[in-house]
């Protein structure tokens, strides 16, 4: 009798265990991970960052352009392209000493390249170092691939040297009584397409006590370098205006001309270097 009860107890215990296992075994849960996009480092080379820098610079995003050029240089420190582009960007933002130092290093590293010599010559021109500018640009003209642009810049330097000689000759000539110089009427031409820039410059011109006779746009908005054109008799005012406008942007070229339309004495052409 005892054995029979013992067997029944064992079967009851097994039944309970089987029921408990069925009740507590959880249903499987599927874990789904989100899709992750992974950038391949093979595409992030120096040339890619250089092109990205040019893309940002063309749209006036100068801080982003500088970052991209710096990334390109970090990946390939001895390259010409991004180092030259970074130096030009510095020059356009008025950091002439920094640009000259970087370009001088490029001239040393790439003795046969015309591009860094042309750019360094132009930076020397902006610094007023006309003899250094002429020598560097003559070297650029003598090298393949840089003759056309270097010749144009060399013409600017020669014009500056001629103007400096004329001023020296005038300073040593006998002083004669002359009529006081009248305030020149100023035209402002937007050549970079940035809306409202001509109006901003007008306020700065008026702050110098000069009248603005006209605002206009240059078709195409592709003018690269800002210039101040001046008719005879307006050289002093043009130079004073150049110094005033350089306080908030890159130094503008002074270009003497035979005359300007509509009776203007000075014309300010805003290029992309003022972006």
Question: Is residue 275 over pLDDT 80?
Answer: no
Q: Residue 39 corresponds to which tokens in the numbers above? A: 């950038």
Question: Is residue 201 over pLDDT 80?
Answer: yes
Percentage above 70 pLDDT, the chain: 79
Q: In the chain, what is the straight-line distance between the N-terminal and C-terminal CA atoms, in Å? A: 106
Name the more confident of 1 and 96. Answer: 96
Burial class (CB in 10 A: 0-12, 13-18, 19+), 159: middle
62-91 pLDDT, tens digit per residue, is: 999 999 999 999 999 999 999 999 999 999
Highest mean pLDDT, choosing among 23-27, 39-43, 67-71, 254-258: 67-71
Tally of CB atoms within 10 A around 275: 19
Global pTM reads 0.52
Q: Residue 59 corresponds to which tokens in the numbers above? A: 């749209």
The continuous run of DSSP H or E covering 189 comes out as strand 185-190
203-238 pLDDT, tens digit per residue, is: 888 887 888 888 888 777 777 888 898 989 888 888
Average pLDDT of the segment spanning 19-30: 40
Residue 215's DSSP bridge partners are 188
Question: Is residue 11 over pLDDT 70?
Answer: no
Question: Is residue 13 over pLDDT 60?
Answer: no
Domain 185-274 has CATH 3.90.1150.10: no
Under CATH, which architecture does the 80-170 domain have? Alpha Horseshoe (1.25)
pLDDT of residue 114: 93
136-179 pLDDT, tens digit per residue, is: 999 999 998 777 888 888 888 998 888 888 878 877 777 555 45
Whether the CB-CB separation of 113 and 83 falls below 8 Å is answered with no
233-265 pLDDT, tens digit per residue, is: 888 888 888 888 875 556 788 889 888 877 788
Domain ranges of the chain: 80-170, 185-274
Question: Is residue 59 over pLDDT 70?
Answer: yes
Our CA angle for 48, 54, 57, nearest 5°, is 140
Residue 187's DSSP bridge partners are 214, 267
146 Rama class: left (phi>0) / alpha (psi -120 to 50) / beta: alpha
**Residues in Cβ contact with 56 at an 8 Å cutoff, skipping those fewer than 6 apart:** 62, 64, 65, 68
Strand duo 253-256 + 211-217: pairing: unpaired
**Residues in Cβ contact with 249 at an 8 Å cutoff, skipping those fewer than 6 apart:** 94, 226, 273, 274
Q: Residue 73 corresponds to which tokens in the numbers above? A: 């240089």
- What 8-state DSSP symbol labels residue 251? P
pLDDT of residue 248: 56
Whether the CB-CB separation of 229 and 257 falls below 8 Å is answered with yes
């Amino acid at each position: 009798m005892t054995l029979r009860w013992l067997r029944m107890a064992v079967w009851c215990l097994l039944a309970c265990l089987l029921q408990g296992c069925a009740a507590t075994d959880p249903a499987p849960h599927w874990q789904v991970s989100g899709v992750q996009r992974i950038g391949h480092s093979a595409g992030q080379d120096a040339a890619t960052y250089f092109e990205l820098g040019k893309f940002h610079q063309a749209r006036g995003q100068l801080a982003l352009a500088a970052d991209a050029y710096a990334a390109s240089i970090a990946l390939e420190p001895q390259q010409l392209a991004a180092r030259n582009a970074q130096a030009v960007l510095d020059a356009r933002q008025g950091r002439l000493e920094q640009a000259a130092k970087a370009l001088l290093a490029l001239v040393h590293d790439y003795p046969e390249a015309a591009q860094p010599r042309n750019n360094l010559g132009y930076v020397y021109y902006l610094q007023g170092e006309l003899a250094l500018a002429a020598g560097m640009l003559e070297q650029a003209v003598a090298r393949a691939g840089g003759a056309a642009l270097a010749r144009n810049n060399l013409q600017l330097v020669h014009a500056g040297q001629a103007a400096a000689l004329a001023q020296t000759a005038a300073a040593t000539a006998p002083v004669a009584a002359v009529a006081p110089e009248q305030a020149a009427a100023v035209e402002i031409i937007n050549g970079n397409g940035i809306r409202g820039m001509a109006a901003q410059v007008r306020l700065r011109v008026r702050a110098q006590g000069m009248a603005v006779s006209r605002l206009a746009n240059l078709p195409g908005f592709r003018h690269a370098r800002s210039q101040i054109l001046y008719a005879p008799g307006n050289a002093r005012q043009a130079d004073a205006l150049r110094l005033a406008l350089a306080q908030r942007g890159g130094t503008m070229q002074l270009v003497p001309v035979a005359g300007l339309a509509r009776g203007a004495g000075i014309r300010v052409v805003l290029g992309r270097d003022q972006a």
